[in-house]
Amino acid sequence: MANQLENLVESIKSKVRALKKSKKKPYVKMDKSSSVRVEIRSKQARKLIDKNLKAADRPGKRSVA
């Protein structure tokens, strides 16, 4: 029984070593598409517009930052 466990541990160790040596990435990182970039910019613009509208609704306060 102990021999089987020892063999299993050695097998796992060798597989881990092989994975470390291969250094293959599990996936290829994709760049953001132009539509995703536009969506991000529009969300940022929407937040800025909302922030400015809130400031405009309170004329007593001068700070917009």
Reported as a single tens digit per residue, the pLDDT across 5-51 is 898 999 999 888 887 776 666 677 778 888 888 999 999 999 999 99
> How many Cα atoms are found within 13 Å in the side-chain-facing hemisphere of 9?
6
- Domain residues of the chain, as ranges? 2-57
Please count the residues of the chain.
65
pTM: 0.42
Give the pLDDT of residue 64.
Answer: 55
Q: Is 55 exposed, middle or buried (0-12, 13-18, 19+ CB in 10 A)?
A: middle
Question: What tokens does 7 get?
Answer: 């063999």
Give the integer Cα–Cα distance in Å for 50 and 2. 68
